[in-house]
Every structure is written in C-alpha cells, then in structure tokens.
Amino acid sequence: MPAALEIERLTVRFGAVTAVDDLSLQVAEGEVLALLGHNGAGKTTTVRAANGLAEPASGSVRVLGRVPATDGPEIRRRTAVLTDTPGIDERLTAREALAFAAELYDLPRDGTPARIAALLAELGLAARADDRVGGFSRGMRQRLALARALLHRPALLFLDEPTTGLDPEATRQLHGIIRRIVREDGRTVVLCTHNLFEAESLADRVGVMARGRLRALGTPAELARGVRATDRVTLEVHAEDADAAARVTGAAPTLADGAATIVADLAHDAVPDLVARLVGAGVRVYRVTPARPTLADAYFALQPPDVVATTVDGDVS
C-alpha cells in the first residue's frame, strides 16, 4: 500500500542533545503503528518533525506525499494530533469548542452542526454537549479532544500518549473508540506510547525506541519471537518426584511447600510430549504453565544497558 508517512534517516537535535537519531520507517495507509518507548525516547519529537514543528538536522520526512518544511499548513489540514494534555477553553461548551475548531479548519458551515452532533454522539458526549468543558472529567476531555481531532476527517492521526493519567475505565473507553474509528474508517494512525498493553492491543506494528533510535520494528508477535523462539514452561510436580523430573527435563527443581517447580524453555509443540514423558517416568504432575514471549519481554531486551526502565501497570518510564 502507499506510504502515509515516510521517514528516511531522520536526525533531530536540540543543542547538544540528539532527540531523534538516524530514524527510518514507513507507515502504510490504513495502518496503526505504535512507537513504544520510555519518556525521552524521541517519540514526540518524531511527531513534531512530521508536522513541520521540529527542524531535522539531517534526513527527510514525507507526510501524505508532502514535505513538512515547505508544506506544513497543507499537511496539518490533512492530519491531526491528540496529546495527553489537550488545550480546550474551559469556558466553552463541548459543542462550542468543536464549532470553534471548525472555524479554524475553515469547514463548510452548512454541514458542520450535523458533523459536530454526530461526533459528540459517537464519543458518548451528546448528553453533555451544551455543558461547559470546565466541568468535564479528564476522560471526557480526552474524548472531546479526540472529537476535535476527527472533525476535519484527517487522513493521518497522531496519538501522543492519549491515555496518560486516565483511570482504567476511561482508558478502556478511549481504546474502544480508537479501535472502532481506525478500523471502520480505515484511518492511518501513529500512536506514541509508553504503555505496553496499549501498543500491543491497538497497533498493527510496533517500533521500539530508546535514546532517539529505533531498536526494532515489527508486529508484536514478531518482536516477541525475536527475543525467544521457545515457550518458558513452568512445571509443578510432587516434591518426592523432583529428581525424576530433573532427569527428564534436564533442569534443576526448586522445592517449596511440598512441591517442586521446574522452569524449562522448549518449543510450544513439545510441551505435550514433555508431560507424557514425565508421567511415563512416574512423576506426579500438578500443573503445567507454558508462557510464550511477550512484547514486554522484547521491549526490555531491546533497551540499552544505560536506559533504566520499570513497569507499572503495563507502563514503561
């Protein structure tokens, strides 16, 4: 498919700091690409460069076939950005805020009221359409900001940490809306996030970034398989059978609470055969838990040693 976003060897510097370092990637029309990385990994700077708001030191960017440095206004008419802290005048009602945005985009007045009403309904804000934004929760403001971003029917949508600070229910709602919009309307989306679950559940492909560089790019499954091709199988057997289980698996057991636990790496299809051999050796097997590698495994394996990352509820920072 044609590329909606083409980045070739992009480098962006702010003084002595290299925010994006030799980045190359393409995003196809209708694709959802997640840029996954810690705070300061270069995700937002990449979005700014794509919208003509950050000047490249070298390399090139093309958005919908145009160059941001010379075609910034035209690109911004065909794209939209949703950030984690969108600015919306709290004195306006939801309907007024969207009407004001429509004026800025110079949308035709005859169809705009119906478009605004449809978006407010789609995003669950119809009942609050004439309430002032100052009384909205953070989740409601994010949904209103998403309505504003979709108002002019952008071909390419940039979502920059769209659920940061939202509670689990608001996050779930916004994820559902994003899935519906991109799948039903076929929009191209670039999602910048440090939330592993968000990247894995929303994106077709994930690019892992660290210290301004793209470390890997592929589907979540491809990235996970790149870390470990086998399952990590946890076996719980009777403590008295620990030695026999060790001989079958070749792995050392851990004893606790009357049971022995053994962890082994093997191909997914080999798990039933291993269990059969254990049973054939007289081992009393209580539990078998195979775990395939995940996007989280890939993310942490791809981080350079000097980048400190932690996970909290699926977030990396």
pLDDT in tens, the chain (317 residues): 679 999 999 999 999 999 999 999 999 999 999 999 998 899 999 999 998 889 999 999 999 999 998 898 889 889 999 988 888 999 999 999 999 999 999 999 899 999 999 999 988 899 999 999 999 998 899 999 999 999 999 999 999 998 888 888 888 888 988 888 777 788 899 999 989 999 998 999 999 999 999 999 999 999 988 888 788 899 999 999 999 999 999 999 999 888 999 999 888 889 999 999 999 999 999 999 988 888 998 998 888 776 644 433 455 54
- Whole domain around residue 123: which residue ranges? 3-225
Tokens of 47: 């979005």
250 in a structural domain: yes
Same domain? For 212 and 72 the reply is yes
What is the count of structural domains for the chain? Answer: 2
CA distances from 28 to 11, 144, 188, 216 (A): 21, 27, 7, 17
Q: Which of 172, 194, 225 is the last residue of a domain?
A: 225
Q: What is the spatial distance between Cα 227 and Cα 293, in angstroms, rounded to a whole number? A: 7
117 in a structural domain: yes
Domain CATH for 285: 3.30.70.120
pLDDT reported for residue 312? 39
Tokens of 234: 């946890």
Q: Which of 209, 225, 241 is the last residue of a domain?
A: 225
Tokens of 166: 């939202």
Same domain? For 25 and 172 the reply is yes
207 in a structural domain: yes
105 in a structural domain: yes
- Which H or E run includes 215? strand 213-218
Q: Which of 122, 97, 224, 230 is nearest to 181 (CA)?
A: 122
Same domain? For 114 and 167 the reply is yes
Q: Which residues contact 83 (CB under 8 A, 6 or more apart)?
A: 145, 160, 161, 162
Same domain? For 128 and 273 the reply is no
Domain CATH for 135: 3.40.50.300
- Cβ–Cβ < 8 Å for 212, 54: no
Q: What is the DSSP letter of 127?
A: G
Question: How crowded is the C-beta side of 29, counted as CA atoms within 13 Å?
Answer: 8
114 in a structural domain: yes
Which contacts of 262-270 are long-range, i.e. CB under 8 A and separated by 24 or more positions? 262/234, 262/235, 262/237, 263/232, 263/233, 263/234, 263/235, 264/232, 264/233, 264/235, 265/228, 265/230, 265/231, 265/232, 265/233, 266/230, 266/231, 266/233, 267/229, 267/230, 267/231, 268/230, 268/231, 268/292
> What sign does the CA torsion over 157, 183, 177, 112 have?
positive
Same domain? For 75 and 219 the reply is yes
Same domain? For 148 and 183 the reply is yes
Same domain? For 38 and 95 the reply is yes
Same domain? For 176 and 246 the reply is no
- Cβ–Cβ < 8 Å for 175, 166: no
pLDDT reported for residue 17? 95
Burial class (CB in 10 A: 0-12, 13-18, 19+), 66: middle
Q: Which of 191, 208, 225 is the last residue of a domain?
A: 225
Same domain? For 189 and 260 the reply is no
Same domain? For 220 and 237 the reply is no
| End-to-end CA gap in the chain | 34
pLDDT reported for residue 307? 63
72 in a structural domain: yes
> What sign does the CA torsion over 7, 10, 14, 17 have?
positive
Same domain? For 167 and 257 the reply is no
- Cβ–Cβ < 8 Å for 105, 77: yes
CA distances from 146 to 90, 107, 153 (A): 16, 17, 11
310 in a structural domain: no
136 in a structural domain: yes
Same domain? For 170 and 235 the reply is no
